[in-house]
A and B are shown apart, each in its own frame.
Chain A
């Protein structure tokens, strides 16, 4: 069964600095999707970035980028120039399209931004 592991329950970063959130996953599939979701104090879940496993190029969305290492089954999120509004819980998620297409979420990493 697929699993998603976020080994850092909490992290802190100084404002304007760069931080990397780790995510590893376990799968025997070769074609799948990976996501990072952000949940700010408002509790709304917001998609930050997505990565298709068949694409070698790492996805980038403004200050957010990923380091996708398919062989290592690693999918880390890098936040550059951290801002106070980045403070949130971040969830890594895995999806494989099949008859029971459900997203599998990690347990989350709470990110604190220090002013």
Chain B
């Protein structure tokens, strides 16, 4: 793979169910992010991780949890999904000082293709 991948591409989930959205990057970026995108609200940061082993809360963290066991993976978990969590979810990564080759970033974030989640 090259860049960031997300899985699944889309998902319909019953309310109350647990769901993990997967995100993997192969650019060796230290920082990773999860956003949700809703019409009229733009991109809102859910959680972030500046480096493996650390995580932080963004603008809208309630109902979501993350972990960062290694550099490449940054899964987002909805412990008990609710309809208000219906959204498109984007994972992103960046690394001002690191990265590899063509993916050495200058502070910009690289985004995955997104996951469309519908909670019914």
Contacts and interface: CB of A to CB of B under 8 A. Distances in A.
B111 A44 contact: yes
A17 B58 CA distance: 39
Contact of B56 (A9, A95, A100, A107): A100
Nearest to B42: A107
A108 B42 contact: yes
Given A33-B107, A97-B107, A102 B90 contact: no
Interface in B70-105: 88, 90, 92, 94, 96
A103 B109 contact: yes
Q: Which of B45, B50, B90, B107 has the most CB of A within 10 A?
A: B107
B108 A47 contact: yes
Contacts of B92: 45
Nearest to B105: A47
Given A101-B50, A102-B45, A44 B58 contact: no
Interface residues of B, number: 23
A97 B42 CA distance: 22
Given A33-B107, A35-B108, A102-B48, A43 B114 contact: yes
Interface in A47-88: 47, 50
Q: Which of A45, A95, A97, A107 has the most CB of B within 10 A?
A: A45
Contact of B43 (A47, A95, A105): A105
Nearest to B30: A101
Nearest to A44: B113
Interface residues of A, number: 20
B113 A101 contact: no
B58 A102 contact: yes
Contact of B106 (A9, A44, A50, A108): A50
B85 to A, nearest CB: 18
B41 A107 contact: yes
Given A101-B94, A103-B94, 5 more contacts: A35-B108, A43-B113, A91-B42, A100-B50, A107-B40
